[in-house]
Homo-oligomer: A and B are copies of this chain.
Amino acid sequence: MDLLLLSNSRNHGQSFLAHALEEIDGFLGDARRLAFVPYALRDHDGYTAIIAEALAPLGIEVVGVHTGADPRAAVADAPAVFVGGGNTFRLLRALRTTGVFEVVRHRVTAGDLRYLGSSAGTNLTAPTLRTTNDMPIVEPPSFEAFGFVPFQINPHYLDPAPDSTHMGETREQRLTEFLEENDVPVLGIREGGWLRVCGETATLGGANGARLFTRAAEPRELAPGADVSQLLATRPRYDSPA
Protein backbone atom coordinates (compact mmCIF):
# COMPACT_ATOMS: atom_id res chain seq x y z
CA MET A 1 0.00 0.00 0.00
CA ASP A 2 1.09 3.48 -0.84
CA LEU A 3 -0.60 6.31 1.07
CA LEU A 4 0.02 10.01 1.56
CA LEU A 5 -2.34 11.38 4.19
CA LEU A 6 -2.40 15.15 4.66
CA SER A 7 -3.87 16.74 7.77
CA ASN A 8 -5.16 19.69 5.72
CA SER A 9 -5.40 20.82 2.08
CA ARG A 10 -4.32 24.35 2.77
CA ASN A 11 -2.13 26.12 5.27
CA HIS A 12 -3.16 29.53 6.56
CA GLY A 13 -2.02 32.21 4.10
CA GLN A 14 -1.07 29.70 1.39
CA SER A 15 -2.88 28.37 -1.66
CA PHE A 16 -4.34 24.86 -1.92
CA LEU A 17 -1.74 22.11 -1.44
CA ALA A 18 1.18 24.58 -1.66
CA HIS A 19 2.68 23.33 1.61
CA ALA A 20 2.79 19.73 0.37
CA LEU A 21 3.46 20.14 -3.34
CA GLU A 22 6.96 18.70 -3.28
CA GLU A 23 5.87 15.70 -1.22
CA ILE A 24 2.91 15.06 -3.54
CA ASP A 25 5.23 15.23 -6.56
CA GLY A 26 7.53 12.58 -5.11
CA PHE A 27 4.64 10.43 -3.94
CA LEU A 28 2.98 10.33 -7.35
CA GLY A 29 6.23 9.54 -9.13
CA ASP A 30 5.43 8.51 -12.69
CA ALA A 31 1.68 8.58 -12.06
CA ARG A 32 0.77 11.87 -13.75
CA ARG A 33 -2.98 11.24 -13.89
CA LEU A 34 -5.08 11.58 -10.76
CA ALA A 35 -8.72 10.61 -10.19
CA PHE A 36 -10.11 13.27 -7.84
CA VAL A 37 -13.01 12.53 -5.45
CA PRO A 38 -14.74 15.87 -4.69
CA TYR A 39 -17.69 14.45 -2.73
CA ALA A 40 -16.82 16.04 0.62
CA LEU A 41 -17.86 19.45 -0.75
CA ARG A 42 -21.12 20.32 -2.48
CA ASP A 43 -19.63 21.97 -5.60
CA HIS A 44 -17.91 19.11 -7.39
CA ASP A 45 -16.92 21.04 -10.51
CA GLY A 46 -15.59 24.02 -8.58
CA TYR A 47 -13.62 21.81 -6.20
CA THR A 48 -12.09 19.78 -9.04
CA ALA A 49 -11.04 22.99 -10.82
CA ILE A 50 -9.25 24.23 -7.68
CA ILE A 51 -7.32 20.98 -7.32
CA ALA A 52 -6.48 20.86 -11.04
CA GLU A 53 -5.06 24.37 -10.79
CA ALA A 54 -3.09 23.53 -7.66
CA LEU A 55 -1.46 20.50 -9.28
CA ALA A 56 -0.94 22.03 -12.76
CA PRO A 57 2.62 23.16 -11.91
CA LEU A 58 3.53 19.49 -11.47
CA GLY A 59 2.09 18.58 -14.88
CA ILE A 60 -0.55 16.36 -13.31
CA GLU A 61 -3.84 15.76 -15.07
CA VAL A 62 -6.79 15.83 -12.65
CA VAL A 63 -10.05 14.07 -13.54
CA GLY A 64 -13.10 14.50 -11.28
CA VAL A 65 -14.70 11.11 -10.75
CA HIS A 66 -18.13 12.79 -10.95
CA THR A 67 -17.65 13.82 -14.59
CA GLY A 68 -18.11 10.45 -16.31
CA ALA A 69 -21.21 8.28 -16.61
CA ASP A 70 -19.91 5.87 -13.97
CA PRO A 71 -17.70 7.33 -11.23
CA ARG A 72 -16.32 3.87 -10.51
CA ALA A 73 -14.75 3.75 -13.98
CA ALA A 74 -12.65 6.88 -13.37
CA VAL A 75 -11.14 5.25 -10.29
CA ALA A 76 -10.86 1.79 -11.81
CA ASP A 77 -8.22 2.70 -14.37
CA ALA A 78 -6.34 5.55 -12.65
CA PRO A 79 -2.85 5.05 -11.22
CA ALA A 80 -3.64 7.33 -8.27
CA VAL A 81 -6.66 8.74 -6.44
CA PHE A 82 -6.98 11.93 -4.39
CA VAL A 83 -9.85 12.03 -1.87
CA GLY A 84 -10.25 15.68 -0.90
CA GLY A 85 -11.37 17.29 2.34
CA GLY A 86 -14.69 18.79 3.42
CA ASN A 87 -17.39 17.01 5.39
CA THR A 88 -16.49 13.40 6.22
CA PHE A 89 -20.11 12.22 6.62
CA ARG A 90 -21.08 13.63 3.22
CA LEU A 91 -17.96 12.11 1.68
CA LEU A 92 -18.56 8.64 3.10
CA ARG A 93 -22.21 8.61 2.11
CA ALA A 94 -21.39 9.56 -1.49
CA LEU A 95 -18.57 7.00 -1.71
CA ARG A 96 -21.04 4.32 -0.63
CA THR A 97 -23.91 5.47 -2.84
CA THR A 98 -21.75 5.60 -5.97
CA GLY A 99 -19.89 2.37 -5.30
CA VAL A 100 -16.57 4.21 -5.54
CA PHE A 101 -15.85 3.03 -1.99
CA GLU A 102 -15.49 -0.63 -2.97
CA VAL A 103 -13.32 0.06 -6.01
CA VAL A 104 -10.94 2.30 -4.05
CA ARG A 105 -10.74 -0.13 -1.14
CA HIS A 106 -10.04 -3.09 -3.36
CA ARG A 107 -7.39 -1.43 -5.54
CA VAL A 108 -5.53 0.34 -2.72
CA THR A 109 -5.43 -2.82 -0.61
CA ALA A 110 -4.12 -4.76 -3.61
CA GLY A 111 -1.35 -2.18 -4.05
CA ASP A 112 -2.72 -1.13 -7.47
CA LEU A 113 -3.74 2.43 -6.56
CA ARG A 114 -1.79 5.17 -4.79
CA TYR A 115 -4.02 6.97 -2.30
CA LEU A 116 -3.63 10.68 -1.57
CA GLY A 117 -5.98 11.95 1.11
CA SER A 118 -6.53 15.26 2.83
CA SER A 119 -8.55 15.97 5.97
CA ALA A 120 -11.83 14.04 5.41
CA GLY A 121 -10.01 11.91 2.84
CA THR A 122 -7.38 11.14 5.46
CA ASN A 123 -10.01 10.36 8.12
CA LEU A 124 -11.48 7.64 5.95
CA THR A 125 -8.25 5.62 5.77
CA ALA A 126 -8.85 4.59 9.40
CA PRO A 127 -11.19 1.66 10.18
CA THR A 128 -13.99 4.11 11.13
CA LEU A 129 -14.83 7.82 10.96
CA ARG A 130 -15.15 7.96 14.75
CA THR A 131 -12.42 10.60 15.15
CA THR A 132 -13.59 13.08 12.54
CA ASN A 133 -14.06 16.71 13.62
CA ASP A 134 -16.99 17.17 11.26
CA MET A 135 -20.66 17.77 11.88
CA PRO A 136 -22.86 14.74 11.01
CA ILE A 137 -24.89 16.72 8.44
CA VAL A 138 -25.99 13.57 6.61
CA GLU A 139 -26.23 9.94 7.69
CA PRO A 140 -23.95 7.39 6.02
CA PRO A 141 -25.03 3.73 6.07
CA SER A 142 -22.44 3.06 8.79
CA PHE A 143 -19.31 4.57 10.34
CA GLU A 144 -17.10 1.93 8.73
CA ALA A 145 -14.34 3.45 6.59
CA PHE A 146 -11.51 2.08 4.40
CA GLY A 147 -9.32 0.72 7.17
CA PHE A 148 -6.06 1.06 5.24
CA VAL A 149 -4.40 1.71 8.60
CA PRO A 150 -5.46 -0.12 11.80
CA PHE A 151 -5.61 2.98 14.03
CA GLN A 152 -7.54 6.24 14.04
CA ILE A 153 -6.36 9.57 12.65
CA ASN A 154 -7.51 12.99 13.81
CA PRO A 155 -6.63 15.57 11.15
CA HIS A 156 -6.42 19.34 11.84
CA TYR A 157 -5.26 18.40 15.32
CA LEU A 158 -5.57 21.49 17.50
CA ASP A 159 -3.90 22.15 20.85
CA PRO A 160 -6.11 23.59 23.61
CA ALA A 161 -6.32 27.41 23.61
CA PRO A 162 -5.02 28.38 27.07
CA ASP A 163 -7.18 31.51 27.46
CA SER A 164 -10.45 30.17 26.04
CA THR A 165 -13.65 30.74 28.03
CA HIS A 166 -15.70 28.49 25.74
CA MET A 167 -17.04 25.45 27.58
CA GLY A 168 -17.22 23.05 24.63
CA GLU A 169 -14.76 20.13 24.80
CA THR A 170 -11.18 20.64 23.64
CA ARG A 171 -9.88 18.27 20.99
CA GLU A 172 -7.90 16.39 23.63
CA GLN A 173 -11.05 15.97 25.75
CA ARG A 174 -12.92 14.60 22.74
CA LEU A 175 -10.18 12.08 21.99
CA THR A 176 -10.06 11.09 25.65
CA GLU A 177 -13.79 10.33 25.43
CA PHE A 178 -13.12 8.28 22.30
CA LEU A 179 -10.59 6.25 24.29
CA GLU A 180 -13.14 5.67 27.06
CA GLU A 181 -15.22 3.73 24.54
CA ASN A 182 -12.59 2.31 22.19
CA ASP A 183 -9.14 0.82 22.72
CA VAL A 184 -7.62 2.20 19.53
CA PRO A 185 -4.69 4.63 19.23
CA VAL A 186 -5.40 8.01 17.65
CA LEU A 187 -2.77 9.94 15.74
CA GLY A 188 -3.63 13.66 15.93
CA ILE A 189 -1.79 15.31 13.03
CA ARG A 190 -1.42 19.08 13.30
CA GLU A 191 -2.09 21.27 10.27
CA GLY A 192 0.94 21.37 8.00
CA GLY A 193 1.80 17.73 8.66
CA TRP A 194 1.11 14.39 7.03
CA LEU A 195 1.54 10.65 7.34
CA ARG A 196 3.34 8.68 4.63
CA VAL A 197 2.64 4.95 4.55
CA CYS A 198 4.66 2.76 2.22
CA GLY A 199 4.27 -0.97 2.76
CA GLU A 200 5.35 -1.72 6.33
CA THR A 201 6.74 1.76 6.95
CA ALA A 202 4.89 4.79 8.29
CA THR A 203 6.58 8.16 8.69
CA LEU A 204 5.41 11.54 9.89
CA GLY A 205 6.20 14.36 7.48
CA GLY A 206 5.65 18.08 6.99
CA ALA A 207 5.61 20.63 9.79
CA ASN A 208 4.34 20.83 13.38
CA GLY A 209 4.35 17.12 14.26
CA ALA A 210 1.61 15.06 15.82
CA ARG A 211 0.23 13.92 19.14
CA LEU A 212 -0.44 10.25 19.79
CA PHE A 213 -3.30 9.30 22.10
CA THR A 214 -3.53 5.80 23.54
CA ARG A 215 -5.63 4.38 26.35
CA ALA A 216 -4.12 4.44 29.81
CA ALA A 217 -1.08 6.46 28.81
CA GLU A 218 -0.21 10.13 28.63
CA PRO A 219 -0.45 11.63 25.13
CA ARG A 220 2.91 11.50 23.37
CA GLU A 221 4.50 14.18 21.16
CA LEU A 222 5.87 13.06 17.81
CA ALA A 223 8.24 15.27 15.84
CA PRO A 224 8.26 15.64 12.06
CA GLY A 225 10.22 12.76 10.59
CA ALA A 226 9.21 10.33 13.36
CA ASP A 227 8.98 6.69 12.38
CA VAL A 228 5.56 5.43 13.48
CA SER A 229 5.67 2.08 11.70
CA GLN A 230 4.86 0.26 14.94
CA LEU A 231 1.34 1.73 14.73
CA LEU A 232 0.72 -0.47 11.67
CA ALA A 233 0.79 -3.49 14.01
CA THR A 234 -2.12 -2.11 16.07
CA ARG A 235 -4.97 -4.48 16.87
CA PRO A 236 -7.85 -2.05 17.24
CA ARG A 237 -10.69 -2.81 19.65
CA TYR A 238 -13.82 -0.74 19.13
CA ASP A 239 -16.70 -0.61 21.63
CA SER A 240 -14.43 -1.83 24.37
CA PRO A 241 -15.30 0.35 27.39
CA ALA A 242 -12.42 1.24 29.67
Contact = CB atoms under 8 A, between A and B. Distances in A.
A230 interface: no
B90 A167 contact: no
What is the total number of copies of this protein in its complex? 2
A33 interface: no
Contact of A139 (B131, B135, B142, B156): B142
B131 A178 contact: no
Given A156-B167, A166-B156, A177 B137 contact: yes
A87 B166 CA distance: 16
A156 B133 contact: no
A143 B136 contact: yes
Chain A interface residue number, banded: 35 or more
Given A167-B10, A242-B42, A137 B130 contact: yes
B181 A138 contact: yes
A199 B133 CA distance: 36
Contacts of A122: none
B136 A130 contact: yes
Nearest to A161: B161
Contact of A156 (B168, B178, B239): B168
